[in-house]
């Protein structure tokens, strides 16, 4: 079994985090104009939870 080298792990974390943060940013901007969109709010909550787990 291959161990993930620290640099590789950091790179994976960085990419995953950037993707989650971009989704959160886009979603929050959308919610500013559509505050009643519950589906988007729920999706953002899942993104935040996923980012926490990264």
Quote the CA–CA distance of 38 and 31 in Å, as a whole number.
9
Quote the CA–CA distance of 46 and 26 in Å, as a whole number.
14
pLDDT in tens, 22-43: 999 999 999 999 999 999 999 9
Coil, helix or strand for 3? coil
pLDDT band at 53 (very low <50, low <70, confident <90, very high): confident
The answer to pTM > 0.85 is no
For the chain, the distance separating the N- and C-terminal CA atoms, rounded to the nearest angstrom, is 22
pLDDT band at 4 (very low <50, low <70, confident <90, very high): low
């Amino acid at each position: 079994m291959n161990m993930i080298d620290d640099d590789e792990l950091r790179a994976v974390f960085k990419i995953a985090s950037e993707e989650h943060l971009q989704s959160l940013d886009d979603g929050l901007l959308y919610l500013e104009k559509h505050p009643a969109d519950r589906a988007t709010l729920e999706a953002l909550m899942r993104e935040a939870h996923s980012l926490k787990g990264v």
